[in-house]
Structure 1
Amino acid sequence: MDLLLKNIVILPILLPLATGALLFLLDDRLRTAKSVISLLSNLGLIALAIVLLASVGADAPADLTRTYALGNWPAPFAIVLAADRLSALMLLLGAILGLCAQVYALARWSAAGPAFFGLVQFLLMGLAGAFLTGDLFNLFVFFEVLLAASYGLALHGSGGPRVRAGLHYIAINLAASMLFLIGVSLVYGMTGTLNMADLAARIPSVAAENRNLLEAGLGVLGIAFLIKAGAWPLCFWLPTTYAAASAPAAALFAIMSKVGIYVILRLSLLLVGDGAGASSGFGSALLLYMGMATIAFGTIGVLASQGMARLAGYSVLVSSGTLLAAVGLGLTQVTSGALFYLVSSTLTAAAFFLLIELVERARVAGADILAVTTEAYGEDDEETDHEEEVGLAIPGVMAILGISFGAVALLLSGLPPLSGFVAKFAMLQGMLAGRIEDVPGPVWVLLTLVIVSGFAALIGMTRLGISTFWTSLEGAAPRVRVIELAPVAVLLALCVALTVWGGPVMRYMDLTAQALEQPHQYISSVLSTPLVEVPGGEAAH
């Protein structure tokens, strides 16, 4: 057990890396063997994430951050991996989505193109590295690994719309990666380090004549992450790409935008937090206003969407905007509520993307257009039999899909009793902490946008739900396998669990937010990373 804990930080990267390499070496005709290997590896990754979460989740400060120095070089020269409450939480969330997407793909999507399971493993490896790295350049490396895998997943299954959207997605992310490199170069030129903890220690003492160039580098980095997070006006690619992707790929992509949010949250509090000297608070106002603009844009998109996939894509934008605005506020209580919302909204979006395909199997081509036409012009009253019952007799599978759809609607709109309500209530409570007359104007605007976006999601989901489950123009029930329903049920069950155990989960989020607001322990742990002792009694370097 001691050996496991000593290497626990690097194992979530090595496991999917080794599995992905093995899967690419195996012949595609060995699909069953590849799927078994990939699923077992994913289960192992979930187990590692749980152990890591437990090891950093204790109240004792000594347990808050675990580090690992690659090559056994001392920090800040080493490539240091660091796991705290936030990174362990994100690692577990990504592993759960990976498992659900792969189980769902077993029904048919894994055979729709080559190397599906290998691509998923490399995406999980990139996600783990991005969450665990303590170095900006290696953050870039892991970003490129997960993006390369996501390119293949975005194109998985072929088809004209999917290829067009996938190519746009590739072009946008290549541009963002170029900005990432430019920003990293500027930051390194002004500070002489890329270790994030060392950067936090050096930024307050940067000379005044170099600070503008440093902040320019941080700003370019911020733009790259805002593109990946889907912030307005840099979000035009996201709804189309997510709507065009295959169901399991879109479910995995639900966490891709949250990687950008994770990095922005991590770096904003670590590098330009209260201890950053003249750079303290740099970019926070921009995050707040861009977040609010993203919520407004996503809300309009939700109301305008006539298809479920587009609505799901715009819902991701609403969640990204909400999280960005929460980060921009810089209030610990809001941040803890935002972390709860991050988990809940990611699970909800993944479940929705998987559910959409199952629901739409009962819809013939052009059904959305016909439903809109019927809604706008009505039916011929002379042909309507007022004696017959309204709606359709719903088969058992449609009842299950309808209940799942209703749960997703409650989660997206933030209505009780599910975790979407708990998350939004926690954020709104944090915004209104203190006297009402002391609440700033921008906070009132954000509060209004959060509430209005919930109502918009309720309207959009209700409209689509009625046209699909109640007044659908075609009555064929979809053919759905248990292996496809199971991942949706698991994701929604996790949202229910977040509600039932809301108290312990919120305490964890509170501790996480407090640690992020006071990063001295993270900085100390990274810069004092212990080295492995060689038989002679001294460290290797």
Structure 2
Amino acid sequence: MVDAISRLMPHLMLAPIALPLLTAALMLLLREERQRLKLALNLCSTLLGLVIALALLAWSARAGSPATLGVYLPGNWPAPFGIVLALDRLSALMLVLTSSVALASIVFASSRWHRAGVHYHPLFQFQLMGLAGAFLTADLFNLFVFFEIMLAASYGLLLHGSGRARVQAGLHYIAINLAASSLFLIGVSMLYGLTGTLNMADLARAIPQVAAGDRGLLHAAAGILATAFLIKAAVWPLNFWLVPAYSAATAPVGALFALMTKVGVYTLLRLWTLMFGSEAGASALFGGPWLIGGGMLTMAFGAIGMLGSQRITHLAGFAAVLSSGTLLAAVGFGQTELTAALLYYLPSSTLAVSALFLLADLIDRWRNDGTLPDPDDEDAPFLNPELLPTQGLNLDDEEEVLIGRVIPAAAAFLGLAFMACTLVIAGLPPLSGFVGKFAMLTALLNPLGLGASAGLRLGAAGWTLLALMVATGLLALIALTRAGIRHFWASHDRATPRLRVLEGLPIAALLLACVLLTVKAGAVMGFTQAAANALHAPGTYVRAVMSAAPIPGPVSHADTPAPKEAP
């Protein structure tokens, strides 16, 4: 049984790409009026995708090897000539994170948002296909293909629901991403001209052998390629488009878009450790200081943006920028312990930002629907104590009636969920945001810990990052607390919020996932440490991809030599 499962799992690697592709194709054959059927297909496909992602995660961590890796050859051609899909702990983690956020997003959208425009469900599935392909592919050409699929779907999702603000933000979003795609192609073309390959593992073998005279051109190509990914990762000053676009999108789309910046971070982490790790010769750790500097500037921009924001959707957008900057700065040090800590912080911050986008929709709706109670209504929530009989009522020291009112369950849920998002984003105990930031601070203060790789040492950059992590967490706390006071504490004159189960359930699930990350912090950190060890020692990845053998085809009778006749 175990052997059968082991033989099946490599083929299951294709499912996160093929499943949303087939689901989207099927939904395109249905008329737009069949919204309920499309919703059911979307929900079932996304839920099945989450189950598959969890199975792949368990498989990637099952073996005792420090770098468990699955390789699949869709075209049955060996690397570097054919398409290669590769699954390790990092890609499995990103698949689970994508499926979790996607399931919460589509459940939330099922209450009303999926009917705000056309082709929402096929675009949603194409988006998942692009995300999964970007995490699984092992060559730059197909990375570009999946990036374009992901971006093309995101254009339609951003415009879902129409409106002038969405169209305006969508035009900026499309323009900046087309520019990023152009830079992607230029960088890939230059790398191919220098190395003769686009396979990531083959690039890792070829870069140390690049001639010294071509080393500057190699670094220029890598810088151009990295710029395309840094745009997606929302690095300052290339992130001016993010907050207007994400805040203009509908709530479930904004929650899904919280993953988009992490695609840029993932790709930079994957390619940088492969191409410019400690084994890259003269190019070892190239670009690390630029990642650190850009990440810290992005952190400062995100925190100041949160402090100057009034709308919760803007707070969520700047929180995504702050999270991305923290990850980029940590990546640039090239330290195993720090990479393990940032891989723990990545899913928790993404889950919290996604939940905040969903919460923003409910809070804004509550704010807009809030009305003052009718003084002539006997059932009004606020009554004049002077009009009430005092007999049988609690009185204070001045003989005034104490009027108590139970907090509505919906308002209590929104308040507690907002508080949980605040704790995770600001990095306060006891939730996973604090654990992730504490682990990163520990790694910064102890760069020579057990299993640490030969990355950049603490120095002035490390102390600056340490101070920024504390300061930006404080600024985020101030901004979110101020918003909480304005929307919950000072909003006593509003009507009771209307909250559907399909709207509250996904928010609760995302925040419970943060709680689970906290409770299982030891096991999760062990997983991310193994993933970081494999990233900073890419030899296993390179050997696994380059040695993957095609499956031999069946031998036909025509190819079998006929037996010789006896003399």
TM range, normalised to the smaller chain? over 0.9
Match of 1:383 in 2: none
CA displacement 1:195-252 (0-9 Å, x = unmatched) = 0000000100011122211111110000000000000010111111111110000000
Match of 2:310 in 1: 306
Give 1:435 deviation, angstroms. 8.9
Asked if 1 retains the 8 angstrom alpha-carbon contact of 2:255 and 2:353, the reply is: yes
Question: Secondary structure at 2:71's aligned position in 1?
Answer: strand
Taking the aligned partners of 2:19 and 2:424, their CA distance within structure 1 comes to: 33
In the alignment, is residue 352 of structure 1 matched against residue 356 of structure 2? Answer: yes
Structure 1 residue runs of 4 or more that deviate by more than 3 Å after TM superposition: 386-394
In the alignment, is residue 53 of structure 1 matched against residue 57 of structure 2? Answer: yes
Give 1:360 deviation, angstroms. 1.3
In the alignment, is residue 134 of structure 1 matched against residue 138 of structure 2? Answer: yes
Give 1:395 deviation, angstroms. 2.0
Asked if 2 retains the 8 angstrom alpha-carbon contact of 1:287 and 1:324, the reply is: yes
In the alignment, is residue 275 of structure 1 matched against residue 279 of structure 2? Answer: yes
Residue 88 (structure 1) aligned to one of 88, 92, 99: 92
Give 1:311 deviation, angstroms. 0.8
Q: Which residue identity is paired with 2:296?
A: M
Residue 441 (structure 2) aligned to one of 428, 441, 449: 428
Residue 418 (structure 2) aligned to one of 384, 402, 405: 405
Within-5 A mapping of 1:337-376: 337-364=341-368
CA displacement 1:227-281 (0-9 Å, x = unmatched) = 0000001011111111111000000001000000000000111001111111111
Asked if 2 retains the 8 angstrom alpha-carbon contact of 1:392 and 1:470, the reply is: no
Asked if 2 retains the 8 angstrom alpha-carbon contact of 1:431 and 1:443, the reply is: yes
Relative to its length, the structure with more helix (as a share) is 1
Within-5 A mapping of 1:484-503: 484-503=503-522
Match of 1:469 in 2: 488
Match of 2:468 in 1: 449
Taking the aligned partners of 1:129 and 1:77, their CA distance within structure 2 comes to: 18
CA displacement 1:123-181 (0-9 Å, x = unmatched) = 00000100000000110000000000011111111111111111111111011000000
Residue 40 (structure 1) aligned to one of 25, 41, 44: 44
Taking the aligned partners of 2:322 and 2:135, their CA distance within structure 1 comes to: 23
Question: Secondary structure at 2:62's aligned position in 1?
Answer: coil
Residue 74 (structure 2) aligned to one of 66, 70, 75: 70
Match of 2:432 in 1: 419
Give 1:474 deviation, angstroms. 4.1
Q: Which residue identity is paired with 1:211?
A: R
In the alignment, is residue 510 of structure 1 matched against residue 523 of structure 2? Answer: no
CA displacement 1:293-315 (0-9 Å, x = unmatched) = 00011110011111111111111
Match of 1:532 in 2: 551
Q: Residue 203 and residue 390 in structure 1: after superposition, are their counterparts in 2 closer, same or farther (change >3 A)?
A: farther
Taking the aligned partners of 1:392 and 1:206, their CA distance within structure 2 comes to: 73
Q: Which residue identity is paired with 2:553?
A: V
Match of 2:565 in 1: none
Match of 1:159 in 2: 163
In the alignment, is residue 30 of structure 1 matched against residue 34 of structure 2? Answer: yes
Within-5 A mapping of 1:76-115: 76-115=80-119
Within-5 A mapping of 1:239-318: 239-318=243-322
Q: Residue 306 and residue 177 in structure 1: after superposition, are their counterparts in 2 closer, same or farther (change >3 A)?
A: same
Asked if 1 retains the 8 angstrom alpha-carbon contact of 2:370 and 2:494, the reply is: no
The count of corresponding residues between Structure 1 and Structure 2 is: 519
Give 1:96 deviation, angstroms. 1.0
Q: Residue 366 and residue 301 in structure 1: after superposition, are their counterparts in 2 closer, same or farther (change >3 A)?
A: farther
Taking the aligned partners of 2:236 and 2:370, their CA distance within structure 1 comes to: 31
Match of 2:209 in 1: 205
Match of 2:24 in 1: 20
Q: Residue 153 and residue 189 in structure 1: after superposition, are their counterparts in 2 closer, same or farther (change >3 A)?
A: same
TM-score by length of 2: 0.89
Q: Which residue identity is paired with 2:477?
A: L
Give 1:40 deviation, angstroms. 1.0
Q: Residue 431 and residue 36 in structure 1: after superposition, are their counterparts in 2 closer, same or farther (change >3 A)?
A: same
Question: Secondary structure at 2:85's aligned position in 1?
Answer: strand
Residue 151 (structure 2) aligned to one of 133, 139, 147: 147
Q: Residue 389 and residue 199 in structure 1: after superposition, are their counterparts in 2 closer, same or farther (change >3 A)?
A: farther
Taking the aligned partners of 1:46 and 1:469, their CA distance within structure 2 comes to: 34
Asked if 2 retains the 8 angstrom alpha-carbon contact of 1:392 and 1:471, the reply is: no
TM-score by length of 1: 0.93
Taking the aligned partners of 1:46 and 1:20, their CA distance within structure 2 comes to: 17
Asked if 2 retains the 8 angstrom alpha-carbon contact of 1:391 and 1:471, the reply is: no
Taking the aligned partners of 2:447 and 2:361, their CA distance within structure 1 comes to: 45
CA displacement 1:50-100 (0-9 Å, x = unmatched) = 111111113532871101112111111011110100001101110111111
Taking the aligned partners of 1:53 and 1:312, their CA distance within structure 2 comes to: 28
Asked if 1 retains the 8 angstrom alpha-carbon contact of 2:67 and 2:540, the reply is: no
Q: Which residue identity is paired with 2:551?
A: V
Extract unaligned runs of 5+ from structure 1. 368-385
Q: Which residue identity is paired with 1:189?
A: G
Match of 2:375 in 1: none
Taking the aligned partners of 2:266 and 2:247, their CA distance within structure 1 comes to: 23
Match of 1:376 in 2: none
Q: Residue 211 and residue 434 in structure 1: after superposition, are their counterparts in 2 closer, same or farther (change >3 A)?
A: closer
In the alignment, is residue 229 of structure 1 matched against residue 233 of structure 2? Answer: yes
Q: Residue 390 and residue 291 in structure 1: after superposition, are their counterparts in 2 closer, same or farther (change >3 A)?
A: farther
Q: Which residue identity is paired with 1:470?
A: W
CA displacement 1:474-504 (0-9 Å, x = unmatched) = 4122211100100000000000000000000
In the alignment, is residue 479 of structure 1 matched against residue 492 of structure 2? Answer: no
Asked if 2 retains the 8 angstrom alpha-carbon contact of 1:123 and 1:150, the reply is: yes
Asked if 1 retains the 8 angstrom alpha-carbon contact of 2:91 and 2:136, the reply is: yes
Q: Residue 91 and residue 400 in structure 1: after superposition, are their counterparts in 2 closer, same or farther (change >3 A)?
A: same
Question: Secondary structure at 1:82's aligned position in 2?
Answer: strand
Q: Residue 390 and residue 418 in structure 1: after superposition, are their counterparts in 2 closer, same or farther (change >3 A)?
A: farther
Q: Which residue identity is paired with 1:399?
A: A
Asked if 1 retains the 8 angstrom alpha-carbon contact of 2:204 and 2:274, the reply is: yes
Q: Residue 141 and residue 392 in structure 1: after superposition, are their counterparts in 2 closer, same or farther (change >3 A)?
A: farther
Q: Residue 290 and residue 63 in structure 1: after superposition, are their counterparts in 2 closer, same or farther (change >3 A)?
A: closer
Asked if 1 retains the 8 angstrom alpha-carbon contact of 2:13 and 2:56, the reply is: yes
Taking the aligned partners of 1:403 and 1:229, their CA distance within structure 2 comes to: 30
Question: Secondary structure at 2:72's aligned position in 1?
Answer: strand
Root mean square deviation, CA, Å: 2.1
Q: Which residue identity is paired with 1:425?
A: F
Extract unaligned runs of 5+ from structure 2. 372-397, 450-456, 560-567
In the alignment, is residue 118 of structure 1 matched against residue 122 of structure 2? Answer: yes
Q: Residue 141 and residue 389 in structure 1: after superposition, are their counterparts in 2 closer, same or farther (change >3 A)?
A: farther
Taking the aligned partners of 2:495 and 2:276, their CA distance within structure 1 comes to: 56
Q: Which residue identity is paired with 1:308?
A: I
Q: Which residue identity is paired with 2:413?
A: I
Q: Residue 114 and residue 392 in structure 1: after superposition, are their counterparts in 2 closer, same or farther (change >3 A)?
A: farther
Taking the aligned partners of 1:356 and 1:242, their CA distance within structure 2 comes to: 12
Asked if 1 retains the 8 angstrom alpha-carbon contact of 2:425 and 2:433, the reply is: yes
Give 1:364 deviation, angstroms. 2.8
- Bigger Rg, which one: 2
Asked if 2 retains the 8 angstrom alpha-carbon contact of 1:38 and 1:121, the reply is: yes
Question: % of aligned pairs identical?
Answer: 53
